[in-house]
Amino acid sequence: MSAPVLEAEDLGVRLYPSAGAVHAVNGVSWSLRPGRTLAIVGESGSGKTVMSLAPLGLLPPGVSSDVTGSLKFEGRELVGTPDEERARVRGAGIGFIFQDPLSSFNPMRRVGSQVDEPALIHEGLSRRAARERAVELLSMVGLSDARRRIDMYPHELSGGMRQRAMIAMALAASPKVIIADEPTTALDATVQAQILELLMELRERLGMALLLITHDIGVVAGMADDVAVMYAGRIVEHGPARAVLKHPDHPYTRGLLASVPPPDALPGTRFRGLPGTPPDLMAVTAGCPFRERCAYAIEPCATRRPPLEPVTVSRDQRSACHVHPLVVEHDQPAEVAP
Amino acid sequence: MARARSVLVALRAVPKLSLAVIAAFVLVGALAPVIAPVDPNAQDLLRPLEGSSSAHLLGTDDLGRDQLSRLMQGARTSLTAAALVLGGALVIGLLIGAVAAMRGGLVDEALMRLTDVGLSLPSLITALATLGLLGPSYSNMILALTIVWWPAYARLTRALIISIKTRPYIEAVQLMGARQSWIMFRHLLPGAIGPVLVYATADAGFIALSVATLSFLGLGVQPPNAEWGQMLVSGLPFLETNPGLVIYPGLALTLVVVGFNLLGEAVALDKVPRPLSRRAVRRRRADALDALAAADAPRLGRTTAGEVTA
Amino acid sequence: MSAGHLVIESLTVKFPVQGKGTLTAVDDVSLALAPGEILGLVGESGCGKSTLARAVVGLERPAQGRILLDGDDLTQLKGSRRRQLRRRVQLVFQDPESSLSPRLTIGQTLQEPLQIMGMSDRVARAARAAELLEMVGLPSHFASRSPGALSGGQRQRVGIARALASEPDVLVCDEPVSALDVSVRAQIMNVLLDLRADLGVGCLFIAHDLGLVHQACDRIAVMYLGSIVEIGPSDALYRAPEHPYSTALLSAVPVADPDLERSRSRVILTGEVASPIDLPSGCRFRTRCPIGQQRCADDAPSLRPAGAGSAACHFPGQMRVELAQQTATG
């Protein structure tokens, strides 16, 4: 198996708003190999976005944060690295796709100049060659009539076209990893399908790794090889996407999956979901952060934090739960095909 | 490093300091008749232009009146005049702004053109012209300044109310079958008044300055009533022999203008201890900034410019 | 006649666009909502579904058409009668943040409609506010809280409670759960289902999440570019869409089952949505339709019976059949 291109180990992020500290991410570990897709799934406040932005120095200015642990790109440590060095690694190796394409573009400059900017910086191309490269990139992401659109301003493009242009921007420096933060949340369903198709195809063709941050289980089901489910700043379940989605172990994963109306639901039937709301990340408590919303909670859940431990024989699927409902239900570790 | 830190600490004291200065002036003005050592208008022609003494702490003017008592009385005059002008401008501005925002269409168009005319004329010149027409007197000065001052408040109020009017929670109240007047008095005006008052606080100093200017020109407060601008002008001939006659009223005026300005800024930036919750203040600040951004009034720059010089 | 029969007849809403003429946001839409029915209205952004919702509650003035509530035309009413009848159709907003006044406590927000309706007894009002809170599953001590102290889901519950204050027959819900976390959505959806069961409140439910709409609604209407292209019983439309746009929309929605998700075929629409300022001739979906023909450009299809419901298409069901063949062979 090839070496991971991006690897997090015991990663932690604290944010400091005006008062107190938010333990946004706590002891998170994962690795991403070339050509694979790892989906980070979680709801708002789960820390999924902060986890991927903070170590790379990409939090909005004015947010002070404290990153601990390690995040390595091709073996090079990014946590605690000087900003300049980090920006170099980031620019050459990691491409970003954000949720809102409009706010990621400079509204005052033409699309073309923004797409070929990274190319100019990293490859020392001439102005003309850079423009050719931009047209090539825009065509590659399926932006029809790229030669004309390259001279448009961001607001003149539709949401889907902007998202394509942003993907082109992310691809400009031929990155090894693409980090996509809710890349289709702001888009309509039919456009979302187009963009996901495009991402799959590009990953295949260019052999990139994809770190996909999303709250949409459907997107995970279609795209991801592996999935890490985050709750209150921690990974609560981690494993091959098929195994986790088909046979979830952690009660939160189970609740999250149950919240998505199944295709065979009967109209007029009640919805299944989770009671309560996510915990306050300002207060650090002992025990399992999910216990107050958990139907399986037992006594140790209040005092001892469950470790992320294997639940299957193949040891690929790991879950942080004292109860392990999956194991209990099957009376033995479930057999899950890889 | 330590130096920078002490500068920072000093800066942090500014809001409280400005609040203290303004409070002191208001207190002195309010209690002037009680605490003034001497009747401010009592002349003692035998003791003109005296220096500091135990009888007259800040000396006397050319008519032998007690300088300290007159300064105290001046605070009363200036602040009362400023309060009257501000009150008048607020009432007219809130009313016109609210009606324009609520009615829209031609009514809005007409009222805003009127406001634009008011805003485009230089304030002091307009006030001078009005006073030239009506004749110099205290009440005419209040009237002239109110005429000059209301358009900015109408603009601000209109912008604020328009921004609140389209929020979903107002639409929800509308769907309950509430009358326009209910929405106006229960939601729109209460929502707008906070940011307007923040703006007014910073503005109060400039009104006091205008009162002094008009009085300095002999068009405002008439002798023998004590008023800082008027005291300045009557002290001018004795600048070389008795500089205190000019310096003290000038200093008082500067303190009031700068004090109000810094206080207004501090309130807008949520740095003043006040009986409002932090959330409320934050909201007001956001509202005020929104409104200022939305209001295209050219003369709202008046405060901004003032803040820069202050 | 049982109360709460809402009929929308040939409703058209237009907006002037500076220098470009008129934008037809809602174009000749007719819908009927039976008492206690939950009717889903789906479509993509800009299709006019929110404008339709706002027009139904009276926040937008229709260019033409009627909105009948138990026979009374809401668009023609004036004065106090208008205020009274309008109360029977209430709106639940999308954004729970901006739909509650930041200056009022939850209790004040809930009491305000009662005050407007003339309930002057303070104690009775407070009691009714507590009752409303209970209806949406919130403890009554929430009345003293400010909106800032509530989570998004709790705020949305308050939004629903406020809409219920005037004892409406119909709730128009404009994407009431889109701004909420996935795990919280189910809670809010259940509140709406319970209200229908307990109070018989009908609901025009606007959403873009087809899975959600399928489970919640009795019938679904699909909107495209200002008009209804298909309407039918929820399950039938979900499983066997007749209109090519409904088919595309349904095939585009990802499902949570990885095996199913990776094996099925999609209708990937190409092209851009036509401009509502300058509508194309004939069928308005034809600029993106995979099965469009010359006839579609010449002749605009009207809603006609197709399958278990009706569709505005010259070739109903054809797209679905083609997709099924693709899935079988591919």
Mean predicted confidence (pLDDT) in B198-204:
88
Query: How far is the C-alpha of C231 from the C-alpha of C236, rounded, in Å?
Result: 10
Q: Are the Cβ atoms of C218 and A265 closer than 8 angstroms?
A: no
Is B191's Cβ below 8 Å from some Cβ in C? yes
Find how far residue C171's CA is from the centre of its chain: 10
- The residue in chain C having the minimum alpha-carbon distance to the alpha carbon of residue A188 is C44
Q: Are the Cβ atoms of C258 and A193 closer than 8 angstroms?
A: no
**Single-letter amino acid, residue B97:** G
Which helix (H) or strand (E) segment is A116 a member of?
A: helix A111-123
Give pLDDT tens digits for C279-289: 888 999 998 89
B–C CB contacts, 8 A cutoff, strictly below: 60
Q: How far is C120 from chain A (nearest CA, A)?
A: 35
User: What tokens appear for A176 in the block?
Assistant: 């090894």
Q: What is the pLDDT of residue B301?
A: 29
Across the interface, which of C59, C100, C103 has its CB nearest the CB of B190?
A: C103
CATH number at residue C256: 3.40.50.300
Q: Is the pLDDT of residue B307 over 60?
A: no
User: For the stretch B141-159, what's the b/e string if a residue is b when 16 or more beta carbons lie within 10 angstroms of its beta carbon?
Assistant: bbbbbbbbbbbbbbbbbbb
Taking a contact as any Cβ pair under 8 Å apart, which residues of chain B between 250 and 269 contact chain C? none
Q: For residue B2, name the pLDDT band (cuts at 50, 70, 90).
A: low
Across the interface, which of C182, C256, C268 has its CB nearest the CB of A245?
A: C256
Q: Is C97 among the domain residues?
A: no
Q: Are the Cβ atoms of C218 and A269 closer than 8 angstroms?
A: no
What is each CA distance from A39 to A11, A215, A216, B234, C14, in whole angstroms?
A: 17, 10, 10, 80, 43
Across the interface, which of C86, C95, C146 has its CB nearest the CB of B175?
A: C86
- The residue in chain A having the minimum alpha-carbon distance to the alpha carbon of residue C258 is A221
Q: Are the Cβ atoms of C268 and A193 closer than 8 angstroms?
A: yes
Q: What is the pLDDT of residue A122?
A: 66
- In contact, C74 and C86? CB cutoff 8 Å: yes
What's B60's DSSP letter? B
Q: What is the pLDDT of residue A280?
A: 73
Q: Is B22 among the domain residues?
A: no
Q: Is C234 among the domain residues?
A: yes
Q: Is B92 among the domain residues?
A: yes
Cis peptide before A262 (omega within 30 of 0): no
Least confident segment among A188-202, B194-208, B272-286, C216-230: B272-286
pLDDT over 90 percentage in chain A: 36
Q: Are the Cβ atoms of B279 and C148 closer than 8 angstroms?
A: yes
Question: In angstroms, what is the C-alpha Rg of chain C?
Answer: 21
Q: Is C221 among the domain residues?
A: yes
Q: What is the pLDDT of residue C208?
A: 86
Q: Are the Cβ atoms of C93 and B174 closer than 8 angstroms?
A: no
Across the interface, which of A194, A257, A266 has its CB nearest the CB of C256?
A: A257
pLDDT over 70 percentage in chain B: 84
Least confident segment among A135-149, B202-216, B282-296, C254-268: B282-296
What is each CA distance from B39 to B54, B69, B160, in whole angstroms?
A: 16, 7, 46
Task: Specify the pairing of strand C219-224 against strand C38-42.
Answer: parallel
Query: How far is the C-alpha of B219 from the C-alpha of C7, rounded, in Å?
Result: 70
Give pLDDT tens digits for B253-277: 999 999 988 888 877 776 544 444 4
Q: What is the pLDDT of residue B268?
A: 76
Q: For residue A19, name the pLDDT band (cuts at 50, 70, 90).
A: low
Q: For residue A81, name the pLDDT band (cuts at 50, 70, 90).
A: confident
Is B177's Cβ below 8 Å from some Cβ in C? yes
For an interface test with C, the pick among A247, A250, A254, A271 (most C C-beta atoms closer than 10 Å) comes out as: A271
For an interface test with B, the pick among C103, C108, C146 (most B C-beta atoms closer than 10 Å) comes out as: C103
Q: Are the Cβ atoms of C112 and B186 closer than 8 angstroms?
A: yes
Q: Is C217 among the domain residues?
A: yes
Q: Is the pLDDT of residue B298 over 60?
A: no
Q: Is the pLDDT of residue B295 over 80?
A: no
Q: Is B135 among the domain residues?
A: yes
Angle formed by the axes of helices C106-116 and B168-175, nearest 10°: 30
Q: In what order do the strands lie in the sheet with A22-32?
A: A22-32, A6-16, A64-73, A76-77
Domain that holds residue C319: 6-88+166-329
Q: Is the pLDDT of residue C21 over 90?
A: no
CATH number at residue B196: 1.10.3720.10
A–C CB contacts, 8 A cutoff, strictly below: 137
Which helix (H) or strand (E) segment is C205 a member of?
A: strand C202-207
Give pLDDT tens digits for B54-106: 777 777 777 778 888 888 988 998 899 999 999 999 999 999 999 999 888 89
Q: What is the pLDDT of residue B277?
A: 44
Q: How many domains does chain B have?
A: 1
Q: How far is C234 from chain A (nearest CA, A)?
A: 7
Least confident segment among B61-65, B134-138, B247-251, C67-71: B61-65
Instruction: List chain A domain ranges.
Output: 6-224, 230-261+271-330
Across the interface, which of B167, B178, B190 has its CB nearest the CB of C116?
A: B178
The domain covering A6-224 belongs, at the CATH homologous superfamily level, to P-loop containing nucleotide triphosphate hydrolases (3.40.50.300)
Across the interface, which of B172, B173, B174 has its CB nearest the CB of C93?
A: B172
DSSP letters for C134-186: HHTT--GGGGGS-GGGS-HHHHHHHHHHHHHTT--SEEEEESTTTTS-HHHHH
CB < 8 Å to A44, chain C: 181
Q: Is B1 among the domain residues?
A: no
Across the interface, which of C154, C257, C272 has its CB nearest the CB of A221?
A: C257
Q: What is the pLDDT of residue B310?
A: 26
Q: Is C37 among the domain residues?
A: yes
Least confident segment among A127-136, B178-187, C62-71, C290-299: A127-136
- The residue in chain A having the minimum alpha-carbon distance to the alpha carbon of residue C288 is A190
Q: Is C73 among the domain residues?
A: yes
Give pLDDT tens digits for A286-300: 899 999 899 999 999
Q: What is the pLDDT of residue A172?
A: 82
Least confident segment among B21-25, C180-184, C311-315: C180-184
Q: Is the pLDDT of residue A248 over 90?
A: yes
Could you tell me which residues of chain C have a Cβ less than 8 Å from any Cβ in chain B?
57-59, 82-84, 86-87, 90-91, 93, 95, 98-103, 109, 112-113, 116-117, 146, 148, 159, 162-163, 165-166
Find how far residue B5's CA is from the centre of its chain: 33
For an interface test with B, the pick among C82, C112, C117, C128 (most B C-beta atoms closer than 10 Å) comes out as: C112
User: For the stretch A211-240, what's the b/e string if a residue is b when 16 or more beta carbons lie within 10 angstroms of its beta carbon?
Assistant: bbbbbbbbbbbbbbbbbbbbbbbbbbbbbb
CB < 8 Å to B190, chain C: 103
A99: left (phi over 0), alpha (psi -120 to 50) or beta: alpha
Q: Is C312 among the domain residues?
A: yes
Angle formed by the axes of helices B228-235 and B244-268, nearest 10°: 150
Is B167's Cβ below 8 Å from some Cβ in C? yes
Q: For residue C254, name the pLDDT band (cuts at 50, 70, 90).
A: confident
Give the sign of the dihedral formed by CA B220, CA B226, CA B229, CA B235: positive
For an interface test with A, the pick among C181, C220, C250, C268 (most A C-beta atoms closer than 10 Å) comes out as: C181
- The residue in chain A having the minimum alpha-carbon distance to the alpha carbon of residue C188 is A271
Q: For residue A331, name the pLDDT band (cuts at 50, 70, 90).
A: low
Across the interface, which of A219, A265, A277 has its CB nearest the CB of C184?
A: A277
Q: Are the Cβ atoms of C116 and B172 closer than 8 angstroms?
A: no
Q: Is the pLDDT of residue B297 over 70?
A: no
Least confident segment among A118-127, B127-136, B242-251: A118-127
Q: How many domains does chain C have?
A: 1
- In the three-class reduction of DSSP (H, G, I as helix; E, B as strand; rest coil), residue A238 is classed as strand
Give pLDDT tens digits for B135-163: 888 899 999 999 999 999 999 999 999 99
Q: Is B177 among the domain residues?
A: yes
Domain that holds residue B214: 75-223+257-309
Q: Is C269 among the domain residues?
A: yes
Taking a contact as any Cβ pair under 8 Å apart, which residues of chain B between 80 and 99 contact chain C? none
